Amino acid sequence: MGADVRQVADGTYLVHGSNTNWVILTDGDAVTLVDTGYPGDRRLLLDSLAAVGSSPEAVTAVLITHAHNDHLGSAEYLRAAHGTPVLLHEAEVPHARRDFLQQVSVGTVLRNAWRPGVLPWMVHVLRSGGTEQHPVTAPAPFPSDGALDLPGRPVPVHTPGHTDGHCAYHLPDAGVVISGDALVSGHAIGRTRGPQLLPDMFHHDRAGTLASLGVLAGLDGDVLLPGHGPVHRGPVKEAALLARERAA
């Protein structure tokens, strides 16, 4: 089964991997890749690049929303094999190197194993390499403020809470917000559909995650591309406020 690649705007594609999304921004053959899925998603990742007429060699940079294993999976592979820069918020750079780990512990997951959907999700995580560590040897902070000189011209937006250096990416001209795990539209262990926060156990700082919904609410856009769940269409402000209401 191939990658689930969906064009959501001009030159903008949301790819559904195995429980985690990534985004491809195109400019001719060149692309910016936002997140990379689980380590076990590599074949899907490579297939998704081919599906938009590109290749690993044409990836100008990998942007990471945050350095959890289900988003960082193939970043080091692309850096080592193709020299692809891996860029993150400066607060997330040491996290990508695995100087520390701000991720839900196995013990916390096991204590929540009674919740519906958690055990099947755990099995999927193990099969997808989600407990492996694939640190990025030489991650780099964004080279400048504002729009990055990359395909799609994404603008990093610091949205801490899920991790300290979590970043969303705003595409103002396209009206698109790539929200990572700061705001999602579904999750394998969730029962809610539409804009929401991930279950509490996944956030390093839940209060910070709630506060970052206010940052997302200030972004102009009507297409939300989350780290988990389907594309959400409608004002991003309303989506962020709904997620905050649901989390209250």
Whole-angstrom distance, CA of residue 32 vs CA of residue 101: 26
Sign of CA dihedral 54, 34, 154, 179: positive
Average pLDDT over residues 34-56: 95
* Predicted model pTM: 0.94
Strand (E) or helix (H) holding 97 = helix 93-97
Q: Over the stretch 178-203, which tens digit does the pLDDT of each residue have?
A: 999 999 999 878 778 899 999 888 89
Asked if 176 and 168 touch (Cβ cutoff 8 Å), the reply is no
Name the β-bridge partners of 12. Answer: 9, 25
Q: State percent of the chain over pLDDT 70.
A: 98
Q: If pLDDT is split at 50, 70 and 90, which confidence band does 1 have?
A: low
Q: Over the stretch 125-149, which tens digit does the pLDDT of each residue have?
A: 778 777 788 899 999 999 989 999 9
Burial 61-99 (b: 16+ CB within 10 A, else e): bbbbbbbbbbbbbbbbbbbeeeebbbbbbebbbebbeee
Residue 33's nearest CA partner among 91, 79, 95 is 79
Please check the confidence at residue 7 and state whether its pLDDT lies above 60. yes
Average pLDDT over residues 197-212: 93
Q: State residue 116's pLDDT score.
A: 81
Average pLDDT over residues 6-33: 95
Q: Over the stretch 79-114, which tens digit does the pLDDT of each residue have?
A: 999 999 999 999 999 999 999 989 877 777 778 777
Q: State residue 172's pLDDT score.
A: 97
Q: State residue 96's pLDDT score.
A: 97
Long-range contacts of 217-223 (CB under 8 A, 24+ apart): 217/241, 219/157, 219/168, 219/170, 219/177, 220/172, 220/175, 221/170, 221/171, 221/172, 221/174, 221/175, 221/176, 221/177, 222/175, 223/8, 223/9, 223/12, 223/174, 223/175, 223/176, 223/177
